[in-house]
Structure 1
Amino acid sequence: MAKVKKPQRVTPRLPRGFVDREADDLRTQDKMLATIRRVYESYGFEPVETPVFEFTDALGKFLPDSDRPNEGVFSLQDDDEQWMSLRYDLTAPLARFVAENYETLPKPYRSYRAGYVFRNEKPGPGRFRQFMQFDADIVGAPNVSADAEMAMMMADTMEALGIPRGQYVIRVNNRKVLDGVLEAIGLGGEENAGRRLTVLRAIDKLDKFGVEGVRLLLGEGRKDESGDFTPGAGLDDAAIQRLLVSYVGTSFRIDDEEIREQSAKTGEPALLGNIAGEETYRDNRAIIGFWRNAVGESLVGTEGVNECSAIEELCRGAGYGPGRIEFSASVVRGLEYYTGPVFEAELLFDVVNEKGQKVQFGSVGGGGRYDGLVSRFMSQPVPATGFSIGVSRLMTALKNLGRLETSTRTGPVVVTVMDRDRMADYQAMATKLREALNPKDGNGEFLGPVVPVEVFQGNPKQFGKQLQYADRRNSPCVVIQGGDEKAAGKVQVKDLALGKEMSAEITDNAEWREARAGQELVDESEMIEAVTAILARQAGASRP
């Protein structure tokens, strides 16, 4: 007779680039999201939700990572053989939603949404394939006043989360300015579209590689520490020098003498900023003036400079001047659908990276104007602008600052089970406690924080296991009623925190059993009062 093979056990394993998240982190995240939501709603934004799957052609191909088999997204075919993809951001699905419901939505349409997005990219330290974003967008607003409002709202969000001024900055740039600068150095026209994109991605690496690293990426290319080589844009030395001095040098120190010479030629003030962190440059109007010279005769570049000037005036007039909102050449944004102003929220405090180096924390969100995204679905132009916060990265930043401590909630009051045949009695006790400890108003809304109450649902044979369970659940107290207590109309209420405290002072085992540390016998009618007293005592002890 053939031997029956035992079924192989499946090995529990987590796919690379994905993480499990437990209760404390989720509660902490909920607290942070509630703060962001209040800021967004104070600006008139309303929630909307779109599904995680969209038809692939509706999402479009805008991700910069093109060296993956399915181009940066996770895709599958449905029963109709139509390709669907997990969303890679929350903006492309919003564009589809607006186009599909355009006639019924108010214009401009203000919305916010939080949700997970998915990237089929190589995972690494701090780089995940699934992560949460929290977006706000205005669709149907053609004026840059909407972009200015986005930047101001992001500044308000940072401060509402407890990040003080001086430890964050909202940096602003304009893709039209970038296009104008590139046109001025001879990279205009469709034939140079690929090289322009390479230049933009090189400038986007300023914070990571510094000016010298960007200089290499603008030229023949750069070899990293591992020996991997990244091909460059192939610009000649004159074009690189003009780009770095007249544009990049307005925000970052490259060579003081070069900047002074450029200043003498243009009549603009010498802007000696830096990327080392000693002192950032904060003269927004002077930077915009430098950019005006950098774009030369380019019409699109001049339009972008004028938009930057308007945003600067609007922000400064509303009290969001330098120190909160600043203009910077470093803001490029990797997604290709941006068409005008772009911005990033950057945190300025130092952290230690995985290599043990002290670095600035950096960006926690960004966005910009994407006037062509909704129009892909329609026969008319639909202007739009928006901002996206990286939720997990922002949570990490807040914990580094001590502004968002891990949320540890008191565990449940546990009704123990002494007799399995009396489960109905135990459930009735739990119901009484649940209703008394969680009062509601006339509309059924809870009047305060919820106090959980549960009946132990494991194996009741070993009572010690029930207490161990309650302890692991961070329970404040347990309720005990055996047959004798039931016959006498009594109930035992055990304060677990007090029990631990008293047990630490008792060394004799017999004395400990006799003392029944932290435990009292009360009438059934006094059960709620006894539990309430324990909760109040523990709440008072936990206050600083």
Structure 2
Amino acid sequence: MSAKKPFRPKARRPRGFEDRSGSVLRAERHLIETASRVYDDWGFEPLQTPAFEFADALGKFLPDEERPNEGVFALEDDDGQWLSLRYDHTAPLARFVAENFQDLNKPYRRYQAGDVWRNEKPGPGRFRQFVQCDADTVGAPGPAADAEMIALAAEVMRAVGLNDGEYLIRVNDRRLLDAVLEMAGVDVPETKLKVMRALDKYDRLGRSGVEELLGSGRRDESGDFTQGAGLSVESVRLLTQFIEHSGGADTFSETFNSGERASNLQILNEMAGFFANSRKGSEAIEAIGQIESCLSSLGVGEDRWRVDTSIVRGLGYYTGPVYEAELLATAHYDDGKPIQFGSVGGGGRYDDLVSRFTGQAVPATGFSFGVSRFAAALSALGRVGAGQERPLVIVIAAEKDQSAHYLAMAAELRAAGFRAEAFAGGGNMGKQMKYADRRGAVAAVIVGSDEREQGLVTIKDLKLGARLAAEISDNREWREEQPAQITVASDAWVEAVRTVARRDGNSV
């Protein structure tokens, strides 16, 4: 009787989760470090909250809370309490502030970066685990604090290498939407949430998709059906026109339908007349006006931000100004078609989140960006890429009995500012050189018996070698001249490697 075969699980990845390679992780780390320096400069303190929170502490604010586990990944602890992986950094911050309220200086200014998890339907560009980087001010009421967060978002855009004109912070106020919902006769809280979540999908689904979600419902490409908000045709028209133009309903001035870009003050003046009989609308317009004044004093001009009523933000806890950071710069696919990046971050005011725990009103506002999406966009634009990495050098193990010497050479390179390793995998020179090429090393360092006896070090410029190899026509001449290889004295080899690295555009 044959022995039972051992169980071997299939190597597979869960849908909506991704493996991130070294180059991606370095780009993300660079982005987080850059943003963190900005946050530090502006007086924010770092904080790290745990991955799990009690489910009731997180609350039900997700755009897709109708999905299983209400949009979160949850498990029951051994004491019968439900724990959930955090879906953002804001809800855990509210819990932290409530738990430590008496000991915190107010306003409390903190930043945090880390993974978040959402039990949502995955799709292109939509993952169930991703990295967010946040900055928040808790305990600061009024538009000045919101203006500072918008200015902070704009400063992060600059710090990561974007020029003014390559990004735009689009600003709205949830109270404007509340006022339009009142005009549309939408007063049921559950219906309001459906409407906000539908409007927040405008950039992804377009007008027709949003109209379906505001009306009877929408069936997506997979066949899944989402029940709509059930609004009347007239209400749907009012809402879609409002978000398509900054004041684009027919009752507004033709300023917004002329094809010319109105100034922020023009938009506010037009909306002031339209919302003259709405308390919420008037409060929102006054707040955005104060934000405009503060941003002007901070030197954040209209080329960096603008009023945009299409900004909704899908999370249910926002209570005032909301905003999104959009990339205007474009890159291109291999076929020449432009890559449109869209929103890479956003935030807003959420004055009621801490009061869920304390019953005491605590004003708060914040900004967050999706690290993976933002880093991918910057890499496509050539702003965060290989140039941000320290160059890698491989020390070839030419002689089996010289491992200690090769390890010492790699340590010397690291002390000089390189990433470096002594090859430890075994195998002949050809195998090791292929390894160095595949790792993207700028150079390979070789000390064989001949070099060791003569006090020399051979350095192969792998990047130059690859370029020249594509142009060669005579293999014999290539072997004799070795144009991408130099041999130097053993007391000058590190500087020679530095010269090779700089020739390839690296600063080290």
TM-score in terms of structure 2 length:
0.86
> Conserved in 2, the CA contact under 8 Å of 1:184 and 1:297?
no
Output the CA distance in 2 between the equivalents of 1:359 and 1:423: 48
Question: Does 1:232 pair with 2:228?
Answer: yes
Which residue of structure 1 aligns with residue 425 of structure 2? 458
| 1:330 shift after superposition | 0.7
| 1:180 shift after superposition | 2.2
Output the CA distance in 2 between the equivalents of 1:209 and 1:541: 44
- 1:431-446 equivalences under 5 Å are 431=411, 433-434=412-413, 438=415
Which residue of structure 2 aligns with residue 88 of structure 1? 87
- 1:282-301 equivalences under 5 Å are 282-295=262-275, 297-301=277-281
| 1:118 shift after superposition | 1.0
Question: Does 1:531 pair with 2:498?
Answer: no
| 1:305 shift after superposition | 2.7
The RMSD of aligned alpha carbons is 3.5
> Conserved in 2, the CA contact under 8 Å of 1:184 and 1:294?
no
> Conserved in 2, the CA contact under 8 Å of 1:28 and 1:404?
yes
Which residue of structure 1 aligns with residue 72 of structure 2? 73
Which residue of structure 1 aligns with residue 193 of structure 2? 197
| 1:527 shift after superposition | 2.1
Quick one: which amino acid aligns to residue 507 of structure 1? Answer: N
Output the CA distance in 2 between the equivalents of 1:516 and 1:281: 57
> Conserved in 2, the CA contact under 8 Å of 1:220 and 1:234?
yes
> Conserved in 2, the CA contact under 8 Å of 1:200 and 1:332?
yes
Quick one: which amino acid aligns to residue 196 of structure 1? Answer: K
| 1:492 shift after superposition | 4.4
| 1:49 shift after superposition | 1.5
Question: Does 1:146 pair with 2:168?
Answer: no
| Structure 2 residues not aligned, in runs of 5+ | none
| 1:166 shift after superposition | 3.1
> Quick one: which of 397, 400, 406 aligns to 1:419?
400
Quick one: which amino acid aligns to residue 323 of structure 2? Answer: F
| 1:198 shift after superposition | 2.4
Q: Deviations over 1:156-209 (max 9, x none)?
A: 222333333333221111112222222233334xxx112222222333233344
Output the CA distance in 1 between the equivalents of 2:445 and 2:314: 55
> Conserved in 2, the CA contact under 8 Å of 1:416 and 1:478?
no
* C-alpha distance 528-129 of structure 1, shift in aligned 2 (>3 A): farther
Q: Deviations over 1:395-428 (max 9, x none)?
A: 23323433334445422241515234x5444444
Which residue of structure 1 aligns with residue 254 of structure 2? 270
- 1:477-496 equivalences under 5 Å are 477-482=444-449, 488=453, 490=455, 492-496=457-461
Output the CA distance in 1 between the equivalents of 2:225 and 2:432: 60
* C-alpha distance 463-376 of structure 1, shift in aligned 2 (>3 A): same
- 1:204-283 equivalences under 5 Å are 204-211=200-207, 213-222=209-218, 230-243=226-239, 247-248=242-243, 250-251=245-246, 259=250, 262-263=251-252, 269-273=253-257, 281-283=261-263
> Conserved in 1, the CA contact under 8 Å of 2:134 and 2:367?
yes
Quick one: which amino acid aligns to residue 205 of structure 1? Answer: K
Output the CA distance in 2 between the equivalents of 1:307 and 1:427: 62
| 1:294 shift after superposition | 4.2
Output the CA distance in 2 between the equivalents of 1:370 and 1:393: 24
* C-alpha distance 356-219 of structure 1, shift in aligned 2 (>3 A): farther
Output the CA distance in 2 between the equivalents of 1:21 and 1:224: 28
Output the CA distance in 2 between the equivalents of 1:362 and 1:516: 46
> Conserved in 2, the CA contact under 8 Å of 1:173 and 1:329?
yes
Output the CA distance in 2 between the equivalents of 1:355 and 1:338: 41
| Structure 1 residues not aligned, in runs of 5+ | 264-268, 440-449
What is the SS of the residue equivalent to 1:394? helix
Matched residue pairs, number?
Answer: 502
What is the SS of the residue equivalent to 2:492? helix
What is the SS of the residue equivalent to 1:343? strand
Q: Deviations over 1:322-343 (max 9, x none)?
A: 3322112111111011111111
Deviates more, 1:163-172 or 1:89-98: 163-172
What is the SS of the residue equivalent to 1:310? helix
What is the SS of the residue equivalent to 1:197? helix
* C-alpha distance 358-230 of structure 1, shift in aligned 2 (>3 A): farther
What is the SS of the residue equivalent to 1:70? helix
Output the CA distance in 1 between the equivalents of 2:407 and 2:232: 79
What is the SS of the residue equivalent to 1:271? helix
What is the SS of the residue equivalent to 1:169? strand
Quick one: which amino acid aligns to residue 338 of structure 1? Answer: Y
Which residue of structure 1 aligns with residue 485 of structure 2? 518
Output the CA distance in 1 between the equivalents of 2:334 and 2:243: 28
Q: Deviations over 1:220-262 (max 9, x none)?
A: 44566777654433333444455456x4465276xxxx73xx2
> Conserved in 1, the CA contact under 8 Å of 2:451 and 2:458?
no
What is the SS of the residue equivalent to 2:12? coil
> Conserved in 1, the CA contact under 8 Å of 2:172 and 2:311?
yes
- 1:79-478 equivalences under 5 Å are 79-188=78-187, 192-211=188-207, 213-222=209-218, 230-243=226-239, 247-248=242-243, 250-251=245-246, 259=250, 262-263=251-252, 269-273=253-257, 281-295=261-275, 297-349=277-329, 360-407=340-387, 409-416=390-397, 418-420=399-401, 422-431=402-411, 433-434=412-413, 438=415, 450-459=417-426, 462-473=428-439, 474=441, 476-478=443-445
Quick one: which amino acid aligns to residue 394 of structure 1? Answer: F
* C-alpha distance 294-104 of structure 1, shift in aligned 2 (>3 A): same
> Conserved in 2, the CA contact under 8 Å of 1:181 and 1:294?
no
Quick one: which amino acid aligns to residue 451 of structure 1? Answer: F
* C-alpha distance 369-280 of structure 1, shift in aligned 2 (>3 A): farther
What is the SS of the residue equivalent to 1:85? strand
Quick one: which amino acid aligns to residue 251 of structure 1? Answer: S
TM-score in terms of structure 1 length:
0.81
> Conserved in 1, the CA contact under 8 Å of 2:111 and 2:134?
yes
What is the SS of the residue equivalent to 2:70? coil
> Conserved in 1, the CA contact under 8 Å of 2:39 and 2:111?
yes
Deviates more, 1:129-138 or 1:37-46: 37-46
